[in-house]
Amino acid sequence: MLTDSTVETWLREDIGHRDVTNSVPGETTGRLVPTEPGVAAGLDAAAAVFEYLGVDVQVQVEEGHQLDPGDPALVAEGPAQDVLRGERVAVNVAAHASGVATRTREAVDAAHEVDDEVRIAGTRKTTPGLRGIEKRAVAAGGGDTHRLTLSGMVMVKDNHIAELGFDRAIERIRERTSFATKVEVEVEEPGDAVRAAEAGADVVLLDNLDPAALERGVEALPDGVLAEASGGISMDDVPAYAATGVDIISLGSLTHSAPALDYSFRTG
């Protein structure tokens, strides 16, 4: 949940101690509109910026709405000084989130051209302090948020296996995990997928495998164990990975490399 203290931190960073630039009298109306097609996200966070400043604001579209250039996404009305002070922070957060949502929608559409059952998921490769906004943007784009925190699911990764060994790492996790918590195990060889499933994995993450190797690992898994593909998968690669029968394709690039959607904010 976005808190007032977070918004205050954003604004303090941008405004500083003496804002001469926006010392503008009177009332005004500002409109946030995209200059390119994209998927709306982060508008509630943008609205929170204006609300904190005492500006009346109306979000014009729902999260996940497909925007065309010129479509009004948000309208803010109030003292000109406060509207202008909120402008850059609001635009930045909406542009970033909408970029994540747009990139996610592109990946979902590419995957569903091949297999409409495969899920596109984000990862924990998020910007510190912005995870909630970025994860909601993934959802707005039609993606799966994956685990939100380390508490959401146990993932046995390569470093855990390097420290404890394959079987011991999974066993140790199983001993400490609630029945309600899923366990995912990362493997880097197709043959280790079955080994992970037999050791108690609910989900097997097949990491850094090409589509042919991934398909071998997926086919070997018993029913009821989900297969996830991750690691070095580009947007162009998504259709080939979707064709392997994998259940989930996770992409860190949805959050760490999505270009911001270009918005314009005009007053008057």
Q: Is 191 helix (H, G, I), strand (E, B) or coil?
A: coil
Pairwise CA distance, residues 147 & 152, whole Å: 5
Q: Which residues are catalytic?
A: 125
Sequence-distant (6+) residues with CB within 8 A of 47 are 57, 59, 74, 90
3-state secondary structure 17-32: CCCCCCCCCCEEEEEE
Pairwise CA distance, residues 171 & 165, whole Å: 10
In the sheet that holds 263-267, the strands lie side by side as: 56-59, 74-79, 27-34, 263-267
The pair of three-digit structure tokens given for residue 228, joined into one six-digit string? 């996830």
